[in-house]
Amino acid sequence: MTRWLPKVYLGLVYLLLYVPIGVLVVFSFNDSRSGYTWGGLSLRWYGSLFNNNAMVEAMWNSLWLALSAATVSTIIGALTALALHRYRFRGKKVLNGMLFVVMMSPEIVLAISLLALFLLVGIQLGYVSLLLAHVTFCLPFVVITVMARLSGFDESLPEAARDLGASDFTMTRTVLIPVIMPALLAGWLLGFTLSLDDVVVSTFVSGPSYEILPLRIYSMVRVGLKPEVNALGTLLLVFSLVMLMLSQWILTRSKR
């Protein structure tokens, strides 16, 4: 009995994890209009999804926003991490701690304060406000990911490059960035996923001019669950799987 017990336990855990996802995927191919009965295999919901212009536009908006937010926060975050790692200055510990404050603080607090700030400064709610907000909450994750990589970084590598005739800039380009590349990619992917599925902050700082996917889905679900959502969910799932595999591939390649 003790031999099969762990297996059953593990099976149960994975069942609980994957049943909802499995149901979603299966029902995305359901021909029936009702969400509860099986009406045979069909791709009709995928079709109607791509005919839904508002939905497709929201998807592109979301992807573009996630792409730009991840990129901007990776650039700023990597430079911040380098500064925190490389230089000794007053208040370094405080700055370090403040990263965690942003990470740990409830999203709703960040959302309200960002909204208040944008209204105060007079930034129109739309792409720009969303980008600024997303960069804000992605940034600490990028900084911490890059700092973790830098803490294991051999300090004599930049020195070796300088010793062999590289300027500070060339050294950064040819040694520092390639060596911390896995962390940059990991930080970027983290930012990308955080941005893509954010609802709370986005709800507050988005405007009618720029609708993004999570908010679109949220408003669709409120008027009743359409099977289109299942198809969309399945597509997003496939997309994140591809991203995950891509990042794993890059990581293992960089180790070699």
Partner 1 sequence: MKKTLLSLSNLTKQFDGKTVLDSLNLDIYDGEFITLLGPSGCGKTTLLRLMAGFEHPDAGAITLSGDDLTGTPPEHRPLNTVFQHYALFPHMSVFDNVAYGLKMEKRPKEEIRERVGEALAMVQLQDYMRRKPHQLSGGQQQRVAIARAVVKRPRLLLLDEPLSALDYKLRRTMQVELKRLQRELGITFVFVTHDQEEALSMSDRVVVLKDGVVQQLGTPREVYERPANLFTARFVGETNFFPGEVESIHDGSITVDVFGLKRTLRRPDFPVQQGQPLHVLLRPEDIRVLDPADEQGVAGKIVERNYKGSTLDSVIHLEDGTEVLASEFFDEDDPAFDYRLGEPVKVSWVDGWEWLLPEEADEPVHEDALTDA
List of residues contacting partner 1 (CB under 8 A)? 154, 156-157, 159-167, 170, 174-175, 178-179, 181, 254, 256
**Would you tell me how many other CB atoms lie within 10 Å of the CB of residue 183?**
24
Helix (H) or strand (E) run with residue 5 in it: helix 5-28
d(CA 43, CA 29): 6
- Give least dist CB 153 to partner 1, A: 10
Closest CA to 145 of 70, 237, 244: 70
Nearer to partner 1, 115 or 175 (CB): 175
Give min distance, CB of 246 to partner 1, in A: 19
**129 neighbors 205 (Cβ within 8 angstroms):** yes
Q: Residue 48, exposed/middle/buried by CB under 10 A (0-12, 13-18, 19+)? A: middle
Specify the residue, 93 or 255, whose C-beta has the smaller distance to partner 1.
Answer: 255
Give the residue with the Cβ less far from partner 1, 12 or 157.
Answer: 157
Minimum distance of partner 1 from residue 86's CB (angstroms): 14
Tokens describing residue 255 = 């180790």
Per DSSP, 122 falls in state T
CB 96 → partner 1: shortest distance, Å?
21
Closest to partner 1 by CB, 11 vs 178, is 178
* Token digits of residue 74: 């990776």
C-beta closer to partner 1: residue 37 or 254: 254
Contact between 219 and 147 (Cβ < 8 Å): no
CB of 177 vs partner 1, minimal distance in Å:
10
